Each structure stands twice: as structure tokens, then as C-alpha cells.
Amino acid sequence: MNEIRRGTLPTETFYERVGGEATFRKLVKRFYEGVADDPLLRPMYPEEDLGPAEERFALFLMQYWGGPRTYSDRRGHPRLRMRHAPFTVDRAAHDAWLRHMRDAIDTLGLDPEDEAEMWRYMVYAAGSMINTPG
């Protein structure tokens, strides 16, 4: 538990509030279970095993939401648009990605405010990856 000192407020990150590493690993595992069988999204993951992509995404989300900085320590700046540039990300891919993410978020049982905050970010992130009209 955070010690409270006079003149300071305890701070709790979103990462901590929603359950830390276990929550983000559960989210990403469920997300990639959907991606594995998706004919539109699966080709965007050239590795035979989705494990490395799952690990990278989990580390990224943990860091983004206030957890350990392992993602940046291993991979540097996220550069999400650059990393996705080789792939065609159109509205159909966006919608498929969000469909799997919605399913994954729904399995977490988060507080409604935390769920809404996470969903807003995912919608924003998916929209920012679109690089092809259509």
C-alpha cells in the first residue's frame, strides 16, 4: 500500500487500478485468440507463432497505462504508425481490430469508468493506425 505523507496525495496508475500485469496479459491473450482466426488481420502478423506479437503488445499496453517501462527498454520508442506502415490498415482492418479488442475488454470485468477509459483509447489508437482509404 502506498504510504501517505503529509502534503502528498497517493497516486495510483490506471495500470495498478485495473489489476496490473495480469489484467493486461489476459486482455492481450484474448485479443490474439480472435486475431489468430481472423482472415483479415492474421496476415499482418508474419511470425508463425503470435506469441512474440502478444508479448510486445502486452508490454506496450502495460507501459502506456503506467506500468513498467519494459517495452521501451527493449524496443525503444513505440513508433506505432511506423511499425504498422508496411501493412494495409483500412477501415475493414480497423473494424476487425476493434471487434476483437471489444471482446477482450468485455472479459476483464472492469469498473465501468475504467472500461470506458480503456475503450476510448483503443478506438483512438485503432483510428490512428488507418493508412489506406477504404
- pLDDT in the model for residue 104: 98
Binned at pLDDT 50, 70 and 90, residue 6 comes out as low
pTM of the full structure? 0.85
* DSSP string covering the chain: -PPP-TT------HHHHTTTHHHHHHHHHHHHHHHHT-TTTGGG--SSSSHHHHHHHHHHHHHHTTS--HHHHHH-S--HHHHHTTS---HHHHHHHHHHHHHHHHTS---HHHHHHHHHHHHHHHHHH--S--
Mean pLDDT, rounded, for 99-104: 98
- pLDDT in the model for residue 82: 56
Q: Where are the domains of the chain?
A: 16-129
pLDDT at 4 over 80: no
16-129: what CATH class? mainly alpha
The proportion of the chain whose per-residue pLDDT surpasses 90, expressed as a percent, equals: 66
- pLDDT in the model for residue 78: 61
